[in-house]
Amino acid sequence: MEIVCPAGTPASLRAAVKAGAHTVYCGFADETNARNFPGLNFDRDEMREGVKFAHDHGAKVLVAINTYPRAGAEAIWHRAVADAESSGADAVILADLGLLAYAAKHHPGLRRHLSVQAAAANADMLNFYASEFGVKRVVLPRVLSVPEIAAINAETEVETEVFVFGGLCVMAEGRCSLSSYATGLSPNMNGVCSPASHVEYHDDHGALSAKLGGFTIHKVGADEPAPYPTLCKGCFSAGDATGHLFEDPVSLNAEKLIPQLAKAGVTALKIEGRQRSRSYVAQVVRNFRAAVEAQAAGRPMPEGMLAQLTEGQAATAGAYKKTWR
Amino acid sequence: MHLTVGPNQFFWKADAWSAFYDQMAAAPVERVVLGELVCSKRLPFYQDRIPGAIETLLEAGKEVAVTSLALVTLKRERKLTAELVEAGVEVEVNDLTMLAYLPKDVPFSVGPLVNVYNEGTLAWLADRGATRICLPPELPLESVTALAAEGAKRGVTVEVWGHGRLPLAISGRCYHARLHKRTKDNCQFACEDDPDGLTVRTLEDQPFLAMNGVQTLSDSCASMANQLEVLNKAGVNALRLSPQTGDFLGVCQAWRDRIDGRIDAAALSDRLETLSGGMRLSDGFLTGARGADWSRAKEGEVA
């Protein structure tokens, strides 16, 4: 199986490629991609150089242009598609219907992948994107169990890519405006979720409370670790219950499911984290590359290799296990 | 400005469901969209009532459409979605899966859970047969204005979320089941206890969101009460009123009074606050700094 690795910077791209990434994904430094964070992403020259470096080392580059273009400003996204093609990128990762139609019409030779932000969650939808826009691969939303992924692959020729490690969306991706409800900025429109610009910490009688857009997301004691206040992983109350009502502050680790995902017909395993450091990326990539090599050779999976890298030391297999729901 | 009653987002008992649509036959609205939007497990409890409700509404002169499910994953859900083609009325697409089943010559409408953020997407949907689009509630006024203009050019009616708790997210996980320490497959229909959703509060006891099974809503009741002139000027054709318990007929009537010029924005806001049992109103997605904001908030109040 192909390992698809994040690169938030040219240095991360080189680190990922050297660590054994088959494929790297990255974005331009603007609102056209869903990790539009300060100090991250590639300008046009860096993209060309990054693609050349990857190709020289036998790796591929995918360019994520996966926010929803703003009305009146679609030209910015159109230019990103054109520049991805001229940089020599192997494919673009798109979510918006209008942008898919544009790319299919004006850049027919540029391979198109469907972003997780389009949340295509069944075989009919995958086949729809293939027949309408020539989509060759779909990144599946994190709402499906492994048997459901196997069933999808049995009904489509489209390649599937699934997340195996890193941040975990609890909601269907690209269909969530929780962040903009609290802050005005959203993944779909701005390429950010629960942005740091809207986070405030308060010392509340020895407890540290974290607010997002003025709403308290969690409160921890002075000696406890304080996870980043991502909205859907906050602590809230409803009825008589108080706790992490949507999701605990966990991240995804599906390393143990690699054999099942291979059997389910998955083409590529995706690692989240373009905002992560290059040493983190290199370590995760090395481990996953070793795991897929072991899988292909029929050797047992290396165990618990990535536990220390997961957010807040807690990991979940997410929706891949049906009981998560 | 026309009024549309959107599909009920909550799980109501079948008799309450039927009574609501009997009432809507007499409501001063042009259009009603019904059917199950949020969770396919609810449908068997009232599915047999849908054809009768459609007939009653059509006889009362309403335009009627049925919604597709918001998130289609299971085989059973794909089948349910495909069968909507045979419903005998227009389909409102709320998940693009529906387009895989709709023949290309059949006109359709598009609901607020489909991502229509720009002119290119609107144009593609119009070419595919969309005659009406209710825009995602997240859009700011500049986008709404641009899309209304594009809609006018292409003969697509443009609708905006006008009243009701905002659909903010949809998930594979059921939060009502999780709250009761159950899994989705064994949910025991916990969401039925909260026919307007269950308020989610912050640790400071501030009402923030509302859970509704696999759906997460705003706690506030979104309202375009203070935005009618702005939306008229932008070229928006219709407002969507989202069903809630209590005197929903009164909500429809209040809006009709406002559109017909019998009451002003302040009077409408006051009436809606009363009719919605004191729910906080919001219109921040359109003109505020964040979705939760309310343009009529008084100084010192949480905006």
Residue B122 pLDDT > 70: yes
Work out how many domains chain A is built from and give that number.
Answer: 2
- HSE of B7 in the Cβ direction (CA atoms, 13 Å)? 26
What is the pLDDT at residue A309? 66
Q: Are residues A156 and A112 in the same domain?
A: yes
Q: Are residues A239 and A107 in the same domain?
A: no
Query: What is the distance, to the nearest Å, from the Cα of residue B19 to the centroid of all Cα atoms in its chain?
Result: 19
Separation CA B292–CA B286 (nearest Å): 10
Do B78 and A127 make contact, defined as CB atoms within 8 angstroms?
Answer: no
Range of the domain at A199: 178-243
Flag whether A173 is in a domain: no
Q: Are residues A60 and A22 in the same domain?
A: yes
Flag whether A308 is in a domain: yes
Residue A133 touches partner B, C-beta closer than 8 Å? no
Residue A311 pLDDT > 60: no
Measured in angstroms, the CA of B130 and the nearest CA of chain A are apart by: 14
Do B201 and A237 make contact, defined as CB atoms within 8 angstroms?
Answer: yes
In this complex, the residue of A127, A142, A245 whose CB is nearest that of residue B175 is A245
Do A188 and B115 make contact, defined as CB atoms within 8 angstroms?
Answer: yes
Q: Are residues A94 and A211 in the same domain?
A: no
Q: Are residues A202 and A255 in the same domain?
A: no
Report residue A226 as tokens.
């304080």
Comparing CA positions, the residue from A215, A218, A222 lying closest to residue A233 is A218
What is the pLDDT at residue A38? 84
Residue B302 is given by DSSP the state -
User: Per-residue confidence at A36, pLDDT binned at 50, 70, 90?
Assistant: confident
3.40.50.300, 1.10.1740.10, 3.20.20.70, 2.40.30.170: which CATH number matches B2-166+218-287? 3.20.20.70
Q: Are residues A12 and A71 in the same domain?
A: yes
In this complex, the residue of A69, A125, A232 whose CB is nearest that of residue B100 is A125
Which residues does chain B have within 8 Å of residue A124's beta carbon, measured at their own beta carbons?
72, 78, 97, 100-101
What is the pLDDT at residue A34? 82
Residue B169 touches partner A, C-beta closer than 8 Å? yes
User: Per-residue confidence at A225, pLDDT binned at 50, 70, 90?
Assistant: confident
Residue A141 pLDDT > 60: yes
Q: In chain B, where do the E strands start and end?
A: 2-5, 31-34, 63-67, 90-93, 108-110, 130-134, 157-171, 198-201, 207-212, 215-223, 238-241, 281-282
Residue A156 touches partner B, C-beta closer than 8 Å? no
Which residues does chain B have within 8 Å of residue A237's beta carbon, measured at their own beta carbons?
200-203, 205
Residue A13 touches partner B, C-beta closer than 8 Å? no
- Buried-state track A286-302, b at ≥16 Cβ within 10 A, e below 16: bbbbebbeebeeeeebe
Flag whether A196 is in a domain: yes
- Residue A174: closest CA among chain B residues belongs to which residue? B115
Do B170 and A175 make contact, defined as CB atoms within 8 angstroms?
Answer: yes
Residue A292 pLDDT > 90: yes
Q: Are residues A7 and A131 in the same domain?
A: yes
Separation CA B128–CA A156 (nearest Å): 23
What mean pLDDT is reported for chain A? 93
Beta bridge partners of B169: A176, B216
Domain boundary among the residues A243, A277, A300 is at A243
Q: Are residues A163 and A225 in the same domain?
A: no
**ipTM score assigned to the predicted complex:** 0.96
Q: Are residues A153 and A204 in the same domain?
A: no
What is the pLDDT at residue A142? 86
Flag whether A128 is in a domain: yes
Residue B203 touches partner A, C-beta closer than 8 Å? yes
Domain boundary among the residues A193, A228, A243 is at A243
User: pLDDT for B270-289, tens place per residue?
Assistant: 999 999 888 899 999 999 99
What is the pLDDT at residue A188? 95
Residue B293 · residue B260 · CB < 8 Å: no
Residue A98 pLDDT > 70: yes
Do A239 and B198 make contact, defined as CB atoms within 8 angstroms?
Answer: yes
CATH number at residue A76: 3.20.20.70
Which residues does chain B have within 8 Å of residue A151's beta carbon, measured at their own beta carbons?
75
Flag whether A154 is in a domain: yes
Measured in angstroms, the CA of B242 and the nearest CA of chain A are apart by: 18
Q: Are residues A135 and A198 in the same domain?
A: no
Residue A275 · residue A164 · CB < 8 Å: no
Global model pTM greater than 0.90: yes
Which residues does chain B have within 8 Å of residue A171's beta carbon, measured at their own beta carbons?
169-171, 216
> Over pLDDT 70: what percentage of chain B?
98
Domain locations in chain B? 2-166+218-287
Domain boundary among the residues A193, A215, A243 is at A243
Separation CA A94–CA B117 (nearest Å): 14
Q: Are residues A35 and A84 in the same domain?
A: yes
Do B96 and A97 make contact, defined as CB atoms within 8 angstroms?
Answer: yes
